[in-house]
Chains A and B, each alone.
Chain A
């Protein structure tokens, strides 16, 4: 009476086997890159500090980098979360009220194509040298990619599932809660993988422009560069890279936990 089930075990096995193949090539590439850097730094000490010098910077002043990293992280997380939150709410409004989408989406595109670095000084004038312009710039940078993905996600519902709940006379709120939001989660996580590290870029850009409070890794980079202290510059860049990778990794880990059960059914994949 029953038919043979699908074959999830085989798929899982293939994923396990690929895991080493996933991390080993970039690890080798990183080691080669560090080697090339070191060779270049030996011959051009005024352009690129040696790896050992960057490492000793981090080793001797861990508190300095940790304090500034915490400031930048806060700006990125708060600004990024605000930008993504506003984008999601606006996506909901745009989805249900088409005239709002027609009115605001072109403006969002204009905002997206305008180089943020050009707006940043104006934002500093408007919001001062405190944390606010940093939050605003980080949120502006993540706003558009999150908005577009959230809109796509809200629309990415299996049409036959929509038919089914229509015959049950499900309310709009029920359709949103039971179908649209869960269906949009893969899109929201895809956006998160882009936006969370991007919020870090926004925070650093803001610190470059509004370095008034002398806090944050971006501020540290600008200050150290003006003094010709390349060791500090590159040590801050390394910390930023680690922060970015950690933020990206956190999103991917959360995505694995939440979306582990989301793989589409074979029927849906075929359509």
Chain B
């Protein structure tokens, strides 16, 4: 039975791609519950099904068996009510729109969805993400990191209670990645949203999360859930603490166990 505290629940989830003897099993009986307001990171080797898990939560694909529920309801009703923010791997900005217009896209589609009591001011959001000077610029005039900040602002602008982020910082350099990580942390800590975040980066997983879900490429399921007890609010200094380094080490060892 779902409880009022549950934001996302995966129950007995199975997913394969292809048919018959060519079918590739990706998820094999995944059970996972994410509570409201938690920042949960999914990490694991390539092919372990982390992106598939995220796409199932976004309603972009259907499970073969099992169910995904957002706030106790099917995914389709959550997306119909615009309760899900999605940040894809590439920023997916529309090249003909300015930065501000790109951020406002979610406000312009599916207007029948119930509106939250108050939504963040798009300009204020972009200012908070360091893009105050780039409102009228086109995506091609921005660096990869700036484009990804726009994508984050676009996910926050309609104030969805759930954010699904698919390796959003994978395509940028390490320094930019660090700066994006802290920008996200700052904006998320003030929002109280539930986040499901897929990454390959151990540092990112520890720095951002309340829980890290390690997935296995051999069992195609959850290998271990590691709670990250670092105090909040966090800033970049947390990454230099002994506790942080110990958690990073623990996570690395766990990942080695789950690799094929």
The residues of A with any CB-CB pair to B shorter than 8 Å are 1-6, 8, 158, 160-161, 163-171, 174, 178-179, 182, 185, 261-268, 270-271
Contacts and interface: CB of A to CB of B under 8 A. Distances in A.
Nearest to A174: B109
B121 to A, nearest CB: 19
Given A3-B179, A265-B147, A167 B164 contact: yes
B47 interface: no
A5 B134 CA distance: 10
B144 to A, nearest CB: 6
Given A161-B92, A163-B88, A271-B90, A263 B79 contact: no
A264 B97 CA distance: 11
A270 B82 CA distance: 30
A249 B58 CA distance: 46
Contacts of A167: 58-60, 79, 84-86, 164
Nearest to B145: A3
B179 A1 contact: yes
B131 interface: yes
B193 interface: no
Given A3-B176, A265-B91, A265-B139, 6 more contacts: A160-B92, A163-B86, A165-B109, A166-B59, A167-B60, A267-B139
Interface residues of B, number: 45
A186 to B, nearest CB: 10
B138 A164 contact: no
B92 A179 contact: no
Given A4-B143, A167-B58, A268 B138 contact: no
A265 B108 contact: no
B145 to A, nearest CB: 4
A6 B140 contact: yes
A169 B58 contact: no
Contacts of B82: 168-169
A266 B164 CA distance: 24
A264 B59 CA distance: 28
Rank and list the top 8 A-B pairs by shortest CB-CB distance, nearest first. Answer: A160-B92, A265-B139, A3-B145, A160-B88, A167-B86, A170-B109, A3-B143, A161-B92
A164 B140 contact: no
